[in-house]
Amino acid sequence: MEGKMPLLGEKFPQLDVVTTMGKMKLPDDFSGKCLVFFSNPEDFTPVCTKEFVAFQKRYDDFKKLNCELVGLSVDQVFSHIKWIEWIKDNLKVDIQFPIVADTGKVSNALGLIHPGKGTNTVRAVFIVDPGGTIRAILYYPQELGRNMDEILRMVKGFQVADKNGVAIPANWPNNELIKDEVIIPPATDVKTAKERMKKYKCFDWWLCHKKL
């Protein structure tokens, strides 16, 4: 339904978009890769500009994780082009990922239009796995810039969790109790619960952890 934000675990909607790098199909053009799709309220605004610079400075780190970035705001493509030219000329940063030019169709499909902010999109982030499934959604107000290191940490965390069948603790890899170790899924029967205490480091049978 138009205007409804997709839910975690759902497939990212199929979208035909116009970007600063030409026409694209999302998420199909990034099939087999993780995708971080993020929206911004408007071009040529202070917080958005600093966010784009921050994303670009970590772009190589995202690509090392087989992850691509795609930005969006409700502006025409020539506005996006002029904006990234300004960033390059004045801030010496070359934005190398595509920015979607949206008339409102994409934003409405993803539920990104803030009801109290006219046609401006909120600061949203969708982390989409290589199979096109939405794994995380972050939602920020216009006045608060995002923490790109946290988004990068989330991508790493999902990949570690998926590969090893584990859970990721708070503030990983700098958790206050187990540092960079990961959490073993809780036992579901008495026998496994007893074996867990012998096999792993545990605070109790339901809270065991290990180093990868």
Q: Is the bond leading into 130 cis (omega within 30 degrees of zero)?
A: no
Q: Which residues of the chain have pLDDT under 70?
A: 1-3, 114-120
What are the pLDDT digits (tens) for 7-39? 999 999 999 999 999 999 999 999 999 999 999
Within 10 A of 115 (CB to CB), how many other CB atoms are there? 7
Tell whether omega for the bond before 186 is within 30 degrees of 0, i.e. cis.
no
Q: Where in the chain is the domain with CATH 3.30.1020.10?
A: 165-212
Q: How far apart are the first and last CA of the chain?
A: 42
pLDDT of residue 114: 65
CATH superfamily of 165-212: Antioxidant, Horf6; Chain A, domain2 (3.30.1020.10)
Residues known to be catalytic: 48
Query: pLDDT at position 74, please?
Result: 83
Residues of the chain with CATH 3.40.30.10: 15-145
What CATH fold (topology level) applies to the domain 15-145?
Glutaredoxin (3.40.30)
